[in-house]
Amino acid sequence: MANLPPVPEMIMTAIETLNEKTGSEKSTIQTHIESNYTSLPVDFSDLLSTHLEELKQNGQLTMVNDCYKKVDSDVPIDVTVPLRRGRGRPPKPKPALPSGYEALLARPRGRPPKPHHPLPGGSGRKRGRPPKAGKPRGGPIGVSVTATGEKRGRGRPPKARTAEVAPIDIEVANGGT
């Protein structure tokens, strides 16, 4: 273990030799280091994670889509801009407005509410469907009273039956013999 270089140096050489376009994943870096160096400590995976995080915090490495890349010193890193875009279409850029216009344009979202009080000169009727007419009073539930005053039961009334007429004998009607 005395002949091993420091872990950050092993990480940087592994990323340089792998030279992947999108960056190298932690597992790829670990496999490369384990294949090139012998007698690594037992807890090397935890040690690697700690040093990768330190290098990322120091600004020597950047992480894009779970892959670690070396930071070019020529290209400045803007930490405020997220590297991943969200779903959907990005919002349109808003034009800059002179001062004082923001207050005029600020309004609540959605459709403005209608007034609750009827307007003067209106019909005076309430909005919407009128309420149902009340049930007639005075009688058992389900029994209504007709215009003639007789009580009806619930449901459809039975079919009216006419008095059956006896069939007429044709011979007797013709004055038959």
- Is 89 within a domain? no
Q: Decide: pTM greater than 0.95.
A: no
> What per-residue confidence (pLDDT) applies to 72?
72
User: pLDDT tens digit string along 87-121?
Assistant: 788 888 877 777 666 656 667 788 888 776 655 65
Query: SS3 letters for the chain?
Result: CCCCCCHHHHHHHHHHHHCCCCCECHHHHHHHHHHHCCCCCCCHHHHHHHHHHHHHHHCCEEEECCEEEECCCCCCCCCCCCCCCCCCCCCCCCCCCCCCHHHHHCCCCCCCCCCCCCCCCCCCCCCCCCCCCCCCCCCCCCCEECCCCCEECCCCCCCCCCCCCCCCCHHHHCCCC
- Is 116 within a domain? no
The parts of the chain modelled with pLDDT lower than 50 are 75, 77-80
> What per-residue confidence (pLDDT) applies to 97?
72
User: pLDDT tens digit string along 129-143?
Assistant: 888 876 655 555 555
Report the CATH number that the domain containing residue 40 is assigned in CATH.
Answer: 1.10.10.10
> What per-residue confidence (pLDDT) applies to 88?
82
**C-beta separation of 72 from 23 below 8 A:** no
- Is 88 within a domain? no
- Is 127 within a domain? no
Q: Which residues contact 23 (CB under 8 A, 6 or more apart)?
A: 15, 62, 63, 64, 65, 67, 68, 69
Range of the domain at 35: 7-70
> What per-residue confidence (pLDDT) applies to 20?
84
Domain count, the chain: 1
